[in-house]
Structures are given as structure tokens and as C-alpha cells.
Structure 1
Amino acid sequence: MAKVLSVNLSKETGVVKKPIEKGEFIESYGLKNDAHAGDWHRQVSLLGQESVDKIRKLGLVDNLEPGIFAENILTEGITLHELAIGTRLRIGETIQEVTQIGKECHHGCEIFQKVGDCVMPREGIFTKVLKGGIVKEGDEITLIKEVE
């Protein structure tokens, strides 16, 4: 079963996000009070614990807390970067659509400086919120529309 391990928020871009108890995700906007939310295609960022574990194995940093790669949602049990653009996911009460896989890394960001490598540009994904609602740790993630 795929699930949410952590919901994370920051009020500024390019910084580590901090875990919160639950997040309110707003349709066509993203995570309430998050710096990356807005009317665009990268409203929410997701990263798998499996990707974080790859960096952990490199031994670059001892402490890889949730949010260290500026992900809004840390997941487990789903290979996010293999999902096709347009795939729809039910995450907690929300429905989100995959809009982008990976991103261009802006060099000199806090994440790269702290960790020495950033997996988000390679294996993180971005979604837009089609149906808003609450997402919290332990919520199930299900594919509701898979695109080939």
C-alpha cells in the first residue's frame, strides 16, 4: 500500500520544508500557506522515501528528515518518477494530477548545500490539485487514472 509519510510546508522557496500535522490542499492552488502554492502546474511536490534512501546510502548526510528536499508530501510504496504525466492520484481527501517529473535544480539552494546532492530534480514529481481536502501522515495513496 502506498501512503503519506509526511506533509511538509515552507513559507519561502529554496529552503527545507518543515513537517506539519496535516495539510489543507486547495483546488487549483496547492498546500495552504506554502511558498510554492499558486495558479500554476507545480502546486504540490512529492518525493518517495525510496528516493531519499538512495541519497542516505551515499553517506553524504546523517540526518535526512522529512522535508529536507523541499517536498510537500513524502511518500512510501509508490515509484513516483515512473508515473506518466496526467496520472491522477487520490491522496487523503484530495485528487491530484501529475504535471511534471523532476525539475531543473537551482544551484546554491539550501538543500544542495546541506545535503551535497538533491534527488528532487531526478525523482521528485509535481502535481496540481483537482479536488481539495486534508492530507496527513498515514493517508493512503491510490491511482485513480493511470496514463500509458
Structure 2
Amino acid sequence: MSKVLAICTSKHKGTLKNEIEEATFIEEFGIEGDAHAGKWHRQVSLLAFEKIDEFRNKGGDVDFGAFGENLVIDEIELNKLPVGQRLTVGEVLLEVTQIGKECHDKCAIYYQVGECIMPKNGIFTRVLRGGKVRVGDECNLINMEKKVFSL
């Protein structure tokens, strides 16, 4: 079972995010109080715990939020999900809008961490249904298969 290991927000784009225990997600906007919230396609960013752990195993000393991610999720290969995939996180429904991104030109994250793993491993989503998310909440993929019934 996949879970939320961390929720992270920041007031400014391109900076490390700070951990919080719960957040309010606003439909078609993002996380209340986060710099990336807005009427666009990259409202909430997710990063797989396993990718952070790989970085740590190479000697990287990073906390959750160090790569600018909003949610740290375990047990799902997030970067393998297709655009359009939907997932529930706590009370919230998210839709994948982008896999990876162009990295900022040596933003604060690069200078503090030395590398950014979001360009290849991060995913971006928009909020289809708002609500609360708490650390420890379940994260589930929505089966997107179309069912055809014959009479």
C-alpha cells in the first residue's frame, strides 16, 4: 500500500520546501499557501521516496522537500505513470499533467543539494477534487481502463 511520507510547501518558487503534517488542496489551484499553486498544469509536484533514497545512498544528505517536491510517495514508480493518470491521495483527486521538467538554471535547490532529481523523476499534477491530505494517508492509482460491455 502506497502512502504519503511527507507534505512540503514553500512561499517561493525554486526553493527547498518545508515539511508540514497536513495540507489543504484546492480544486484546480493546488496546495493552499504553496508558491506553485495557481491556475496552471503544475499545481502539485510528487516525487517517489525510492528516488530520494537512491540519492541519499550516493551520499546526498537531503531532507524531504529538498528537491522542491510537494508530496513524497512510497511504493509507486511515479515517473512511469502516463499523463492523464489519476490518483487519490487522502481526500484529494489528482491528475498527472507532466512527467519531469526542465531544471531551473542553477536555482537554490541546485546550490544547496548539488543536483536536482525532479527533471527525470518528478511528476506534476493538477487538483481535480480538493480536500485534506495528511502524512500517512494512502495513495491509490485509479484504474483508467475503458470497459466495453456487449449485449
TM bin (shorter chain): over 0.9
Segment drifting more, 107-116 vs 135-144: 107-116
Segment drifting more, 85-94 vs 109-118: 109-118
- Which amino acid in structure 1 is aligned with residue 80 of structure 2? E
Does structure 2 conserve the Cα–Cα contact (< 8 Å) formed by 1:55 and 1:117?
Answer: no
> 3-state DSSP class of the match of 2:142?
strand
Tell me how far apart the structure 2 counterparts of residues 119 and 27 of structure 1 sit (CA, whole Å).
27
- Which amino acid in structure 1 is aligned with residue 132 of structure 2? I
Deviation of 1:58 after TM superposition, in Å, equals 2.0
Structure 1, unmatched stretches of 5+, are none
Counterpart in the other structure of 2:117: 119
Looking at CA atoms only, which structure, 1 or 2, has the larger radius of gyration? 2
Deviation of 1:107 after TM superposition, in Å, equals 1.9
> 3-state DSSP class of the match of 2:19?
strand
The reply on whether 1:79 has 2:77 as its aligned counterpart is yes
Alignment of 1:104-143 (within 5 A): 104-143=102-141
Tell me how far apart the structure 1 counterparts of residues 82 and 108 of structure 2 sit (CA, whole Å).
29
Structure 2, unmatched stretches of 5+, are 146-151
Tell me how far apart the structure 1 counterparts of residues 86 and 5 of structure 2 sit (CA, whole Å).
19
Deviation of 1:117 after TM superposition, in Å, equals 1.1
Tell me how far apart the structure 2 counterparts of residues 142 and 24 of structure 1 sit (CA, whole Å).
18
Moved beyond 3 Å, runs of 4+: none
**TM-score normalised to the size of structure 1?**
0.95
Counterpart in the other structure of 2:38: 38
Deviation of 1:29 after TM superposition, in Å, equals 0.1
**TM-score normalised to the size of structure 2?**
0.93
Tell me how far apart the structure 2 counterparts of residues 9 and 106 of structure 1 sit (CA, whole Å).
18
Tell me how far apart the structure 2 counterparts of residues 107 and 75 of structure 1 sit (CA, whole Å).
26
Q: Give the number of equivalent residue pairs.
A: 146
Counterpart in the other structure of 2:149: none
Alignment of 1:1-148 (within 5 A): 1-59=1-59, 61-62=60-61, 64-146=62-144
Identity, % of aligned positions = 52
> 3-state DSSP class of the match of 1:145?
coil
Does structure 2 conserve the Cα–Cα contact (< 8 Å) formed by 1:84 and 1:146?
Answer: no
RMSD: 1.3
